[in-house]
A and B are shown apart, each in its own frame.
Chain A
C-alpha cells in the first residue's frame, strides 16, 4: 500500500464527487428530507381515529358512552349513521376507520342490570391501526363499564366500592410511546445503507463503461490502493450525513441521545466501510452501471428497510426470515443505534452486535479486494 498513490486516487475520486454536484447535493439533501419527513410527518401513533357512530338508543346513557369515545384523544366522531348502509359507505370510502353501534335496547338493558352489548366494527385492511384502535376501544368501554357498575352498586345499596384492579403502565425509554423516538435512530442506518451503496455501486462500473479502467490499469496502482482510495472520500461524505442526522435528531426532533456519541460514530464508520465496500463489490462484479444500480437496490435498500427491524420487529417474523434478517448488516447497526440512543447502553451489552458488524465489514472489504484482483488479471 503506497500512501502517495492512495491519496492520488482519493483526490481523483473527490474531484469526481465535487464535479458531479447533483449527486453531491442529493447525497446531502436526501437524508435531510427523509429525516424531516419522518420527524414531522410520519408516525405510527394511532390517535384521533375517525369513527362513525350509529346510536340507535339515543338516550343519556348512550350519549355518555359516545362522549367517552369522542373525549378520548384516540377517537374522533367523524359522522353519525342511521343504518349499516351508511357505515358500509363510510368505511368503503375510508372516511371512517371504525364504527360504533349502540343497540336500541342499550339504556333498558343497562337499567335492568343485564350485560349490555355494544358493537365495534373496524376496517381491518390496515391491521396495525385496527388492532391499536380496538385495544383502545376495549379499554374505554371496560373503564366506563366498571364505573357504571360502581355507580349502580352505590344507588342500590349505598355501597361505596372501588375499582378492583388498576394497570400502571410504565413504558421505559420512551414514556409517551412516540414512534419518532423509535424510528429516527433506525432511519439513520437505513439512510446510510442506501446512500453508501448508491454512491459506491457505480464507481467501478463507471470506470469500466467509460473505458477509463484501462488507463487506471496501465498505471502502477494496485487493487487495494484503488479500492481504499475510492472508499475514503465516500466514507467522509457518509460521516457528514451521520453528523447532520444526529444533529437534526437532537436539536430539531429532540430524540433523546442517552449513550456514548463516540461509540455511535465509531460504529457508523465501521458500518459505512462495510456498506460502501458492498457497493464496490457489486460494482466490481457487474461491471455495468444499470445492473449495478438494480443490484444495489435489491441488496441494500429494501432489505435494510423491511428486514432490519427498522419498523417491522424481527421477533415477529418467522424463524427462517429471522435468520435472513441477521445476515443484513443494517440489523446490527440498528440494534446498536437504538441501544445507544434510547437505552443509553454501551459495549457491555452490545458487544456481540458490534463484533458481528465489524466482522461483516472486514469480510466485505476483503472480498471486494479479492474480487477486484481477479478481474484485473
Chain B
C-alpha cells in the first residue's frame, strides 16, 4: 500500500501561499499522492484549479481528487480541465468522481439532484471516450485514471463498469475491507481483467490539544450536514501517532492500494508530523 497526503483545500481560512508550500513539501516525499476535496458553497479552494497550480509547483507526486462531485460539472469542460492538468503534470492526475452526499452543493449550483446517478454514468463514459479519442483537451497516455466513490452496490458496480478503481469514503479498516470485497466482486462480475485499484481516505490532526481541537472543530463544521452523525465522524479523526500507525497498518492488511491522509488543520507542521509517523 502507498500512502498519500491531502491538501487542506476545504479547511476554512487556509492561506493561498500555504497550499503551494504544502504541495512542495509533500513533493519532497514520502507521499505517493496529493489529494484534494470538493465543496462549492464553502470557504474552500476549487479542486481542479488548485491541482493545476500544484502540477506546476511539484514534479513527482501524484495528484488526485478524493473525490469531486461529477454531476455538478459539465462533462466536456471537466474532461478538458482534467486532460489539461494531466498534461501539465506529465501524467500525474487521477480523477476520482462521485455523486456526492451534500444536497446544498446541488441546490446552490443549480443542478437537479434527481437523476444524478445516471448523469455520473454518462459523464464517466464521456470522459473515457474524450480521453481516449483525444477529441477534447490535450492527449496524454489515454488520460488520467478514473476512480468512483460511494458506498452502495450501484456505486461499486459503476466503478467496475467505467473506472479504473474505487475510492472508499472512510471508516475503520473492517468497513473498508467489506467494501473492497464487494468492489472486487463487481469487477470480476463485469468481466474486467485484473483487479480494481482500491483507494481510501482518513482525516488526521497531529499536535497539542489546541491543534487537535481545531481539527475537531473543522470536522464538526464540515460534516454538519449529517446532523448528529457529525460527532461520530469527528470521533474518527486520527489525533495520535499511535492511531495513525495502527490505522495505516489496518488498511494495508485490508488490501488497500492507496491511502490518502487528509489534514483537518491547515498548518505546514502537519506534513512533517505525519511524515515522522508514516515514513516511506
Chains A and B belong together in one complex: no
